[in-house]
């Protein structure tokens, strides 16, 4: 079971590198984040995703981001 807190912190701190996507098992998206990290856009998206992860309940997080 993946931790929403870990995913949220990774997204906020290392979102531009897609570390949170690799943690959640979304390897393809993680590679896309890595390819575009120089633009700064993945960093902004990672910040938003991190906030979303942390505001979801555990059940919502697991069903939407882990078991999808």
So where are the chain's domains?
A: 4-66
Sign of the Cα pseudo-torsion (51, 58, 17, 39, in order): negative
Average pLDDT on 2-24 reads 96
pLDDT in tens, 42-59: 999 999 999 999 999 999
Average pLDDT on 55-65 reads 95
CB atoms under 10 Å from CB of 22, counted, come to 17
- Residue 67, pLDDT > 90, answer no
- For the chain, what is the mean pLDDT? 95
pLDDT in tens, 14-42: 999 999 999 999 999 999 999 999 999 99
Ramachandran quadrant class, 57 (left: phi over 0; alpha: psi -120 to 50; beta: rest) = beta
């Amino acid at each position: 079971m993946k931790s929403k807190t870990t995913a949220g912190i990774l997204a906020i701190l290392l979102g531009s590198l897609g570390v949170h996507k690799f943690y959640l098992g979304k390897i393809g998206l993680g590679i896309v984040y890595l390819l575009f990290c120089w633009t700064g856009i993945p960093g902004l998206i990672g910040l938003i995703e991190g906030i979303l992860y942390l505001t979801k309940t555990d059940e919502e997080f697991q069903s939407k981001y882990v078991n999808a």
